[in-house]
Amino acid sequence: MTLTHARSLQVDEVRQQFPALAGNWTFFDNAGGSQTLKRVVDRISEFLLTSDVQLGASYAVSRLASERVAAANQSIATLINAADPAEIVMGASTSLLLRILSLCLSHTFSPGDEVIVTNCDHEANISPWVDLQQQGIVVKFWRINPTTLELDLADLAALLSPRTRLVALTHASNILGTITPIQAITELAHAHGAMVCVDGVGYAAHRLIDVQALDVDFYVFSFYKVYGPHHAVLYGKREHLLAMPGWNHYFITATDIPYKFQPGNLNYELSYGVIGLCDYFSDLATQHYGDRAAPELRDRLVQAFDLISIHEEVIGDRLLSYLNQKANVRIIGAAEAEQSKRVPTIAFVVDGVDSASIPPQIDPHHIGIRYGDFYAKRLIEDLGLAAQHGVIRVSMVHYNTVEEVDRLIALFDQLF
């Protein structure tokens, strides 16, 4: 669709949708977990209070519960533009879903087949593939360019071979904030006969996902980092999900997707709750665009994330501009806030300062930031930052304000 820009994001209206923001804390640890939308909580409560029964029975309440869970799958299919709601596998976490995927997919691999992983991913998208070495799978590491801190396509091309079965990588690093050119990577990998598995946890709160446009084979992220509950989703192309063996009881058929990847079934109420995400983004577009809001839900989602990305560039620029002026600060990632290149997950180190010493001095001011490796331990070690306890990370989302950033900057000015 062609976007007609609305007025800028009305952050005061946005913040009213998140009850936790009415308190006295400023949340800048959103890459670790965002605040939850009230309408998500409302849907979870609705399910538990009016349809908390097992699916698949003939009586009316069970039929209602089944319809609600099916509606959740359709909602997330729309959110990420999957072609079929059966391609949506819900589960407890990104880490668990990737582990299930690796176990099931590995049954289609042979000793000597190759998997490529990066050194800048969260460990959730590394260890499940590295562990396949135990069955003879060859694992290669695609390392970021130590100067640009980006993944170079030429380096991937050198790693690909006729035996490459899968390339696993992140859409946006939870430390670097860099947006990876997934579509170009997918084209290259597919040209060599390899599948692509993308961890979108660091991306999904900031930009709208389109799995069909990206042409990825698998895509996974957690809802608790996208304004929802502690729940997650794995997208897989239908043909791949059908071809893999499942991880459920022996009598669950090979064609029963997504259920064959959901032993013990999924969490019904949390699944139903995530419909609140689409409710919110849809209303965000309607409230800001008025009669110019798109008639179709998917197009309203495009409009909503357009507003979000513009606002996030503003608040990201505010902090990055400040950090760029500090001679003793090194930004770990892109130094500019351009929305096509990065999300406002901003990591940095201060010369001669232990990263662990900064956040505790911010805590008394009711501002939540964080330090560490954020489970991207291989990246921190390869960058030589482990000795100073990793990086200081300020991770913002669209409900954060310029005023909140300025308060943090004023505190930083007193510390380094």
Architecture of domain 11-36+297-415: Alpha-Beta Complex (3.90)
**Pair of tokens at residue 319:** 């902090």
- Tokens 């380096």, residue located: 155
> Strands 26-27, 195-199: parallel, antiparallel or unpaired by DSSP?
unpaired
Rounded CA-CA distance 148/153 in Å is: 13
Strands in 243-344 per DSSP E: 329-331
Asked whether the beta carbons of 229 and 273 are under 8 A apart, the reply is yes
In the chain (416 residues long), the average pLDDT of successive 10-residue segments reads: 64 98 98 98 98 98 98 98 98 98 98 98 98 98 96 98 98 98 98 98 98 98 98 98 96 96 96 98 97 97 98 98 98 97 98 98 98 98 98 98 98 96
Distances (CA, A) of 119 to 173, 176, 263, 347: 10, 12, 31, 17
Residue 245 is predicted with a pLDDT of: 97
**Pair of tokens at residue 170:** 């992140």
CATH number of the domain located at residue range(s) 41-276 in this protein: 3.40.640.10
Residue 2 is predicted with a pLDDT of: 42
Distances (CA, A) of 228 to 18, 30, 389: 11, 12, 30
Residue 3 is predicted with a pLDDT of: 45
> Strands 88-91, 232-236: parallel, antiparallel or unpaired by DSSP?
antiparallel
- Tokens 């006969």, residue located: 193
Residue 403: which residues within 8 A CB-CB, separation 6 or more? none
Strands in 119-258 per DSSP E: 138-142, 164-170, 195-199, 218-222, 232-236
Residue 7 is predicted with a pLDDT of: 67
Rounded CA-CA distance 99/130 in Å is: 11
Backbone dihedral angles phi then psi of residue 342, each to the nearest 5 degrees: -155, 160
Q: Within its chain, how far is the Cα of 264 from the centroid? A: 25
Boundaries of every domain in the chain? 11-36+297-415, 41-276
Query: pTM for the whole thing?
Result: 0.97
Rounded CA-CA distance 317/387 in Å is: 29
CA-closest candidate to residue 25, choices 38, 13, 15, 17? 15
